Amino acid sequence: AQTETEVEAILEEATREVFPPGPRIRIAERGAMGFVSTQAVQASTSIVGSPSPRQWLADNDLVYIGQGQGEVEVGDEFTLYRDAVPVYDLGGRRKLGYHVDILGWLVVREVEGDTATAEIRMSRSEIERGDRLIPRIAPPSEVEVTFTPEAAEANIVFIPEGRAHVADGDFVYLNRGSLDGLRVGS
C-alpha cells in the first residue's frame, strides 16, 4: 500500500506530463498599478512630512511616516499610492476592493516614538506629503501560464487607466480570485 504522500507525488507527476509547464510571461510594469483590499486601504498610513522643503519627493528622499514604535521596524518596506478608486462586481452591488495608482516604494530607516523615517527607494511618479502607504509585496518579474481546469469562470470588472479596450500585455481586474480556483498564471 502507498502512503498519502506517495499518491500525491504520483498524481503531481502525472499532471505535469498531461499539462507540461506553460510559457512564461515577463511582467514589466506590474508595479505601476495595484488592486488592494478594503481592509488594506482602511489600515494604510501616510507620509506626514519630510526634511526636504521641496513639494515633490523622489528616489533617495527621506520622509516621515505616520507609524512608529510597535507598528513598524527598520527594514520594513511600503508601497506608496494615491487615489484609491473602488472596484465593484458586475451590477455594482458588491465592492471587491480598490484600484490604486502606485507611485513607488520606500523602506523604513529609523523608528522613533510615534513616527518613523523612511527612504524612497523607487518612484514612478511625483510623491508628496499625504500620499498613502501599505505594506509592500514585491511583484514577480515573470509568471508561468498554467492550466487551471478547476477555476471558475470570471468577468472583467475593471480596466485601469479608464480605458475601454485592452490588448496583449494589459492588466485587468476579474471578479474571481483564489477562492474560485484562480492562481497566479491562470
Per-residue pLDDT tens over the stretch 105-140 = 999 999 999 999 999 999 988 999 999 999 988 777
Query: What is the predicted pLDDT for the residue at 51?
Result: 93
From 107, 30, 108, 112, select the one nearest 69 (Cα to Cα).
112
Write down the H helix ranges in 2-113. 4-18, 38-43
Please give the grid coordinates belonging to residue 61: 528622499
Query: What is the predicted pLDDT for the residue at 21?
Result: 65
- Can you tell me whether residue 162 is helix, strand or coil? helix
Query: What is the predicted pLDDT for the residue at 150?
Result: 83
The pTM of the whole model exceeds 0.95: no
Distance CA 28, CA 21 (A): 21
What parts of the chain have a pLDDT lower than 50? none
Query: What is the predicted pLDDT for the residue at 111?
Result: 96
